């Protein structure tokens, strides 16, 4: 039961990365693929019906963590207090950038919120990537089993570590590139004319960097986190997840070249699912690995009682079916393409 909830938590995290990830990617590329007011409105309309719904998965992820692994939630929120506050402020500023730009008919006002939207999206991708890097790398627990991560220490992965070091920054950069590529494919499939052309070219230009950074990240993870080596020995099937991710990445390249943008976007989603699932399989049975002599927080130590986990499934399953059903309905109700002519 504990393993099942760990897998469900990883699945929800991956789904959030896939869905809100292309929102971040659209924000990162907003000023690069849209050169005038009509094109910027066109870009924003592609995420307008769904961006706030995509963020619900983050709330659901937090609720599931509280339900299944309350000790993990308490420990992580205390230790990662600073980055969590940064994420909260960036999420709010990004939402303001989307909603407030339409409140005044002023070019300067719209430009300010467009820049705010792009910067907040970029920084969110960096922070979320660095946070995932912290979880993979492990944190510096004290003897009481708690930790507090400063923004940085000496940028090394050993000893007292901070939120930022060369490893977590690498994860942050890789996340920015992967989500920008993901967002470019979303725009290519949902826009027309010049925005489509620029988005397609942006995806083509970003793809080699995503491939290289993926290889570097996997190699760095194998070197930095000893649990990865043991995980591969205990669960050699975890390597299949990396293969799935690479198949998705190469598939996105092939479909983009064939101008099959919806399939390219799905292939990119498979890549992201594969990478998040790989990371989860590498740290298991830990939900938060430690460093040095303190191994970290395991799923068994962090989980609720077995009775609570079993009972919770009767609520979680119908709840998730409603969320998935509503999400599917909203996406099916969206136009296949948002034309720039509709914004003139």
What is the reported pTM?
0.92
Does residue 158 register a pLDDT over 80? no
pLDDT at 10: 92
pLDDT at 229: 78
pLDDT at 292: 67
Rounded to 10 deg, the angle between the 166-190 and 107-137 helix axes is 130
Reduced to 3 states, what is the DSSP secondary structure of residue 286? Answer: strand
For every residue of 82-110, DSSP letters joined together read HHHHHHHHHHHHHHHHHHHTTTS--HHHH
**What is the separation, in whole angstroms, between the first and last Cα of the chain?**
55
Short-list 232, 241, 278, CA closest to 10? 278
Q: What is the chain's mean pLDDT, rounded?
A: 88
Short-list 210, 128, 129, CA closest to 177? 210
Least confident residue range of 183-187, 263-267, 278-282, 287-291: 287-291
The verdict on whether omega for the bond into residue 285 sits within 30 degrees of 0, i.e. cis, is yes
Q: What is the mean pLDDT of residues 276-282?
A: 90
159-182 pLDDT per residue, tens: 777 788 899 999 999 999 999 999
Question: Tokens 């719209």 belong to which residue?
Answer: 110
Question: Tokens 């890789």 belong to which residue?
Answer: 174
Question: Tokens 């598939």 belong to which residue?
Answer: 251
Q: What is the mean pLDDT of residues 113-135?
A: 92
268 CB-near residues (< 8 Å, 6+ apart): 181, 182, 185, 248, 249, 252
- The share of the chain scoring above pLDDT 70, in percent, equals 98
219-274 pLDDT per residue, tens: 998 888 877 877 878 888 888 999 999 999 999 999 999 999 999 999 999 999 99
């Amino acid at each position: 039961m504990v393993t099942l909830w760990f897998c469900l938590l990883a699945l929800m995290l991956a789904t959030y990365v896939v869905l809100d990830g292309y929102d971040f990617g659209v924000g990162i590329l907003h000023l690069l693929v849209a050169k005038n007011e009509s094109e910027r409105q066109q870009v924003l309309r592609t995420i307008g019906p769904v961006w706030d719904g995509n963020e619900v998965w983050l709330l659901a992820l937090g609720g599931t963590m509280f339900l299944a692994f309350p000790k993990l939630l308490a420990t992580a929120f205390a230790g990662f207090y600073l980055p969590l506050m940064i994420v909260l402020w960036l999420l709010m500023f990004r939402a303001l950038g989307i909603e407030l730009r339409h409140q005044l008919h002023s070019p300067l006002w719209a430009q300010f919120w467009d820049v705010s939207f792009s910067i907040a999206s970029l920084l969110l991708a960096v922070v979320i990537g660095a946070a995932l890097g912290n979880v993979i790398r492990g944190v510096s627990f004290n003897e009481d089993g708690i930790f507090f991560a400063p923004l940085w220490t000496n940028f090394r992965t050993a000893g007292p570590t901070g939120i930022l070091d060369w490893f977590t920054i690498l994860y942050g950069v890789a996340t920015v590139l992967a989500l920008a590529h993901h967002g470019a494919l979303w725009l290519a499939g949902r826009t027309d004319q010049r925005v489509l052309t620029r988005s397609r070219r942006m995806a083509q230009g970003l793809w080699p960097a995503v491939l290289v950074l993926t290889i570097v990240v996997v190699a760095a993870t194998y070197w930095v986190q000893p649990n990865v080596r043991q995980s591969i020995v205990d669960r050699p099937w975890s390597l299949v997840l990396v293969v799935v991710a690479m198949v998705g990445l190469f598939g996105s390249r092939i479909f983009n070249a064939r101008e099959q943008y919806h399939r390219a976007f799905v292939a990119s989603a498979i890549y992201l699912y594969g990478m998040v699932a790989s990371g989860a399989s590498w740290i298991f049975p830990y939900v938060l690995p430690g460093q040095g002599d303190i191994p970290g927080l395991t799923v068994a130590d962090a989980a609720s009682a077995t009775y609570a986990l079993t009972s919770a499934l009767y609520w979680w399953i119908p709840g998730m079916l409603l969320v998935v059903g509503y999400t599917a309905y909203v996406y099916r109700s969206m136009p296949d393409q948002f034309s720039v002519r509709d914004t003139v």
